[in-house]
Structures are given as structure tokens and as C-alpha cells.
Amino acid sequence: MTMRLIRKNIQYILIPFALGLFLALWQMVVVVNRYPMFILPTPGQVVASWIDNWQNGIIPRHLGLTLCEIGLGFGIALAFAVSVGYLLAKSPLLEKIVSPYIIATQAMPIVAIAPLVIIWINTGAVQNALIAALITFFPMLVNTIVGVRSVRPEYRDLMRSYSASAWQVFAKLELPAALPIFFGGVRVGVTLSVIGVVVVELLWADRGLGFLLNFARGQLDTPLMFATVATLSLMAIGLYLSVVILERILIRWRRNVQ
Amino acid sequence: MNNQTLIQIEAVSKQYGPARGGVLALREVSLDIRAGEFLSIIGPSGCGKTTLLKMLGDLLKPSAGYIRVKGKTPADSRRARDCGIVFQTPTLMEWRSIARNIELPLEIVGAPRGERARRALELLDLIRLREFAARYPHELSVGMQQRVAIARALAYQPSILLMDEPFGSLDEMTRERLGQDLLDVWQRARVTIVFVTHSVGEAVRLSDRVAVMSPRPGRIERVIEVDLPRPRPAELRELPRYWELLREVRAALRLNG
């Protein structure tokens, strides 16, 4: 009885245990090797720096800006992916014409396009969002196309036999049918938008968590670098989880399909 | 065309692809389908029976000849929603509950919510699946799903039911049970059924008439009247006439040696 209870909840014991073990090892490495703080701070020093910089408003300010950029970039990418993806799914001819350009945007390294975008658009946050959108839209676009194309022809015949309008076919058949595949793209897209924004901030920006990371490195403030990376990771996890939760809510009927 | 004829098929041909090098699926098929009858179309696979059925529902256009459904072109008849269609697979929407699946055609027609719900319950009673109203398709067996598809096809009270090998993917026992259920539905809903099948026994057991098609390019080889009494229980098989009819259909299909 107790054994089964332990086995069932073992993850709740092991996960904190693994984390504790990791932190203890980290502390030990620093203490044994007597690393100075700018090489490798202890977990305690990182936490202290995080609390300090949260309270004086530095981390919240940069976090807020980075989140805004991610939201804007992801929003642009989503709108583009859904509308263009739907059109391309409907018209194989259009797809043949347009897809080389779309693939080209993915083949080019983001660092090569970014300076151009910066010349064209001079607003910092919008720049970063656009560059993030550029690398974010692709998986969502592909999954929109695959999702809409996954509708089997009998279902289209069925809707035709009801003389359903184009809008009804979209709302009652294509949208719900494409949703599970589409969300696969959104999961990848949301993580890519974090990477996109942070990379651009690291390279060019004067604000945001990417900039803060760069700034801390310049100051040799290694605890702040760790605190920034931790903030970024938590933010990325939070964004990913919110997508997963949204998916659970929207695709409730799928939960039992196995 | 006498006043009993509901569907008129006149010298209909169907060509897939170009005239040379394409495939002639149907060649000058003519057939009158009577109001209220249960007509089966049987033939070897690839003879164009599904093509013919799809043309009746305006899912495909004939290359030549013409079709009148209740005196209208198939396109007009589709817009008037004269036909309900049942496919080989249930084609239910997995994100909708059983009741909401049955309501789908009514939603598209724009029927009010209360009427939709009432009609769905009525149909669930007809197929004896009322207790599954709130379940989802994946919770039902394929046979049950196909019953739901039949109920859905009846939702806006069409006068014709077009069925494309609806029991083709089911095992023999389920198939027979669903056949009996279908006869029951047919009698109670008073619809005309056009039933495509490749099972000789099924065609004879269910139909008033069996149209036998030849291999590609498909033509109507013979139309056989099934003069067996109704209702038709499983004991039908003990009647000598049943076996005669089976032999006749098989002969028309050239299956007898």
C-alpha cells in the first residue's frame, strides 16, 4: 500500500531531489576549487543577485520589454502563418510560386538579415519583433498547411453535400481538423520567438534581457548573468506551458483519443 | 418517365482524364430509380458504381448524358438538400459529440438550436443510441459510428439516401445486423435508398431491385427484381427463391464458373 503510494508519487520526490543534488554539486565545485565570483558564483550568490536586481527594478524592466517584443513578434508570425498558410494549403499552384521565397528566408542566417531590417525600420522594439517573427513563422506556416491538407476528401464531399458555404467549411471542418497539427507548430514557434528576440537583443539592442546579459558580461557581473539566464529560462518555460494549457483547453476532445 | 420515377439517369458516361489516354469509368448508363424503393448497385471493384452514386449527389459531374433528381439537375437537387449521403467510412467529426455530429447538417442549414436538439434526439432513438448522445466518436465501435452517420444523413429529412458501401469495412456479423437496422430505418423514415455494395447476399437481402454493373467501362448489365416478401428476417436464407436470386445476380456478374 505505502509502496504503491511511493511509486505513484515518486516523481514529486525525485524532481526536487535532483535539483537539490545539482545545487549541492555546484556549491561544492565552487568551494573546492576556490573559484572567484566572476568565474563561477555559488547558487546563493546568484539568488542574491536575482533578488537584488528584481527589487531595484532592473530585471522586471528588461523582462517586460523582452516579453513585449516576443508577444509582438509571435503575433506577427502567427497572423502571417495562418493567413498565408491557409491560402497556400488551398492553392498548390500558389505554393509552388511562393515557397522558394519562404524557404529562402529560412536558409539565410538571421544575423545576415537583421542589419537590413534595422536599416529599414528604426524602432528598436519593432525591429527585434520583426526579426523574431522571421524565424518564428516557418514552423507555424508549415503546420498550418499540413493541418488544412490533412482533411480527408470524404469530409469535403460531406460538407459539399450539405451545400455548406466556404466559411462554414472553414469554421466547422478545416479549423477544428487542423488545430492539433497547428498547435505542434505553435509549440515550436513560441520557443523560436524567444530565441529570436534574445539573439537580436544580444547583438544590437540597448534594452531587454539579451542586452542585460551582454551588459552584465561587460561588467564581469557573473551572478547577474546567471540571474538573467535563469529569468530567460523561466520565461521560456512559462510561455511554452501557456501554449500547452491553451492547447488542452481548445482540443479537449483529444484527451481521450489514444 | 412515369410518375413513380424519382431519379432518372439517361445515357450517362464518365471520363476521367483526357479522351485519349484517360479512363472511361462509365459508358452510357441509363437507370430509373423509383420513389420509395431500395435499390442496390452491385459490380466488381472499379466498375464505376461509386462514381455513379457521386454523380447523383453532385459530387462529380457526368461527362455526357443527364441526370434528374426529383426533376432537378443534381446541382439544384443538392442545393434543395434532397439527398443524404453515407460514405464507406463513418466520417464523423472527432471533435463533436455524437449528438452534435448529428446536428451538423442542421447547423449548416441554419436550423434553430432547439429544433436541432429535438431532431438529434429523435434520430438517436431511431438508431437506438440515445445513451451515447454526449459521447465522442472514438468511444463507439465502427458499426455504431456508421449508424450515427446514417442518422446524420437523415437529419434534414432528405427524401433520398445515397449509400456508398456503407458496411464495406465491417465484419460479417455487424454488417448483417446493420443491414437489418437499415431496413428498419428505411421503413420508418420512408426514404428512397440507393445502396452501392459489392456483396451479393447483402444486395439481395436488402433490396427491391438490384442493378448489376459490368467491369470497366461500367454499364448496367441487368436490373433484377427481388420479389422476396418483407419483412425479411435472417430466416430468409431458407427460402429457395433467395438462392435463385443469388444465383441470378452471380450469373449477371459472371461469377458462376
| pLDDT of res. A256 | 55
Is the confidence at residue A17, as pLDDT, over 60? yes
Indicate the residue of A162, A176, A177 with minimum beta-carbon distance to B105: A162
Indicate the residue of A154, A157, A253 with minimum beta-carbon distance to B94: A253
Q: Is the same domain home to A48 and A108?
A: yes
Q: Is the same domain home to A207 and A235?
A: yes
Reported as a single tens digit per residue, the pLDDT across B44-74 is: 888 889 999 999 999 999 999 999 999 999 9
Is the confidence at residue A48, as pLDDT, over 80? yes
- Round to whole Å and give the CA distance between A177 and B95: 8
- Chain A residues with beta carbon closer than 8 angstroms to that of B83: 161
The confidence band for A79, taking pLDDT boundaries of 50, 70 and 90, is very high
| pLDDT of res. A105 | 81
Indicate the residue of A154, A168, A177 with minimum beta-carbon distance to B108: A168
Answer yes or no: is A127 within a domain. yes
Percent of chain A scoring above 90 in pLDDT: 63
Reported as a single tens digit per residue, the pLDDT across B169-207 is: 888 888 888 999 899 889 888 899 999 998 999 999 999
Would you state the cell numbers that stand for residue A43, as one nine-digit string? 547558487
The confidence band for A15, taking pLDDT boundaries of 50, 70 and 90, is confident
Do the Cβ atoms of B87 and A154 come within 8 Å? Answer: yes
Answer yes or no: is A133 within a domain. yes
Domain with residue A195: its CATH number is: 1.10.3720.10
| pLDDT of res. B46 | 80
Answer yes or no: is A55 within a domain. yes
| pLDDT of res. A109 | 77
| pLDDT of res. B56 | 94
Chain A residue set in contact with B, beta carbons under 8 Å: 152, 154-155, 157-164, 168, 172-173, 176-177, 179, 251, 253-254, 256-257
Q: Is the same domain home to A97 and A219?
A: yes
Q: Is the same domain home to A156 and A96?
A: yes
Q: Is the same domain home to A87 and A188?
A: yes
Half-sphere exposure in the Cβ direction for B215 (13 Å, CA): 5
Q: Is the same domain home to A80 and A21?
A: no
Do the Cβ atoms of B95 and A168 come within 8 Å? Answer: no
Structural domain total, chain A: 2
- Round to whole Å and give the CA distance between A81 and A78: 5
Answer yes or no: is A38 within a domain. no
Answer yes or no: is A8 within a domain. yes
- Round to whole Å and give the CA distance between A74 and A70: 6
Q: Is the same domain home to A135 and A94?
A: yes
| pLDDT of res. B112 | 94
Is the confidence at residue B116, as pLDDT, over 80? yes
Over residues A34-62, mean pLDDT: 92
Answer yes or no: is A37 within a domain. no
Over residues B223-241, mean pLDDT: 88
Q: Is the same domain home to A183 and A79?
A: yes
Whose cell is 456483396? That residue is B199
Task: Pick the residue from chain B with its C-alpha nearest to A178.
Answer: B95
Q: Is the same domain home to A12 and A139?
A: no
Answer for the pair A250, A179: CB distance below 8 angstroms, yes or no.
Answer: yes
- Chain A residues with beta carbon closer than 8 angstroms to that of B109: 162
Q: Is the same domain home to A219 and A188?
A: yes
Do the Cβ atoms of A253 and B136 come within 8 Å? Answer: yes
Computed over every residue of chain B, the mean pLDDT equals 91
SS3 A205: coil
| pLDDT of res. B1 | 44
Q: Is the same domain home to A224 and A139?
A: yes
Answer yes or no: is A184 within a domain. yes
Q: Is the same domain home to A19 and A55?
A: no
The confidence band for A258, taking pLDDT boundaries of 50, 70 and 90, is very low
Is the confidence at residue A250, as pLDDT, over 70? yes
Return the minimum-mean-pLDDT range out of A8-12, A31-35, A77-81, B120-124. A8-12
Is the confidence at residue A257, as pLDDT, over 60? no
Q: Which domain holds residue A15?
A: 2-32
Indicate the residue of A168, A172, A257 with minimum beta-carbon distance to B94: A257
Is the confidence at residue A116, as pLDDT, over 80? no
| pLDDT of res. A1 | 63
| pLDDT of res. A123 | 67
d(CA A167, nearest CA chain B) in Å: 10
Is the confidence at residue A170, as pLDDT, over 90? yes
Answer yes or no: is A72 within a domain. yes
Do the Cβ atoms of A162 and B109 come within 8 Å? Answer: yes
